[in-house]
């Protein structure tokens, strides 16, 4: 996956275009990501036992297509395409196409 949890990404299309946020979750099977503060939706919760005593509406992020986000490089602070290098031990590492910095 080009995008990983804890990455900062820029939304490049859809109604949240231009928003930046941190990736909360990556859903590889669906090619989707959940980004903090992006694609907010209301979800109705039911009252139940345990922690949730009151039912109600909570705001939460919907998953958005991974193609709608671009990684923001920590070094050059720009939205960038991600490339992959294979290093000596066969591991793949990501790198920034703008500044060539390896992204962990
Ligand atoms: Zn960079």
pLDDT tens string 51-94: 656 778 889 999 999 999 999 999 999 999 999 999 889 999 99
**C-alpha 78 – ligand 1 centre gap (Å):** 6
Tokens matching residue 59: 């705001």
pTM for the full predicted model: 0.83
**C-alpha 57 – ligand 1 centre gap (Å):** 39
- Could you tell me which CATH number the domain at 8-47+57-103 has? 2.30.30.30
**C-alpha 55 – ligand 1 centre gap (Å):** 45
7-11, 20-24, 46-50, range with the lowest pLDDT:
46-50
Residues with Cβ within 8 Å of residue 39, at least 6 apart in sequence: 14, 15, 16, 61, 62, 63, 64
User: Under a CB-based contact definition with an 8 Å cutoff, are residues 103 and 80 in contact?
Assistant: no
Residues 87-95: contacts with CB under 8 Å, at least 24 apart: 94/2
CA-wise closest residue to 24 among 41, 43, 44, 9: 9
**C-alpha 79 – ligand 1 centre gap (Å):** 8
């Amino acid at each position: 996956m080009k995008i990983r949890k804890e990455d900062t990404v820029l939304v490049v299309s859809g109604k949240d275009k231009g928003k930046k946020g941190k990736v909360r979750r990556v859903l590889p099977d669906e090619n989707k990501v959940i980004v903090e503060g992006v694609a907010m939706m209301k979800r109705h919760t039911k009252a139940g036992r345990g922690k949730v005593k009151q039912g109600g509406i909570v705001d939460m992020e919907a998953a958005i297509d991974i193609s709608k986000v671009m990684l923001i490089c920590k070094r050059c602070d720009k939205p960038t395409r991600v490339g992959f290098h294979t290093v000596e031990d066969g591991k793949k590492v990501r790198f920034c196409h703008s500044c060539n910095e390896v992204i962990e």
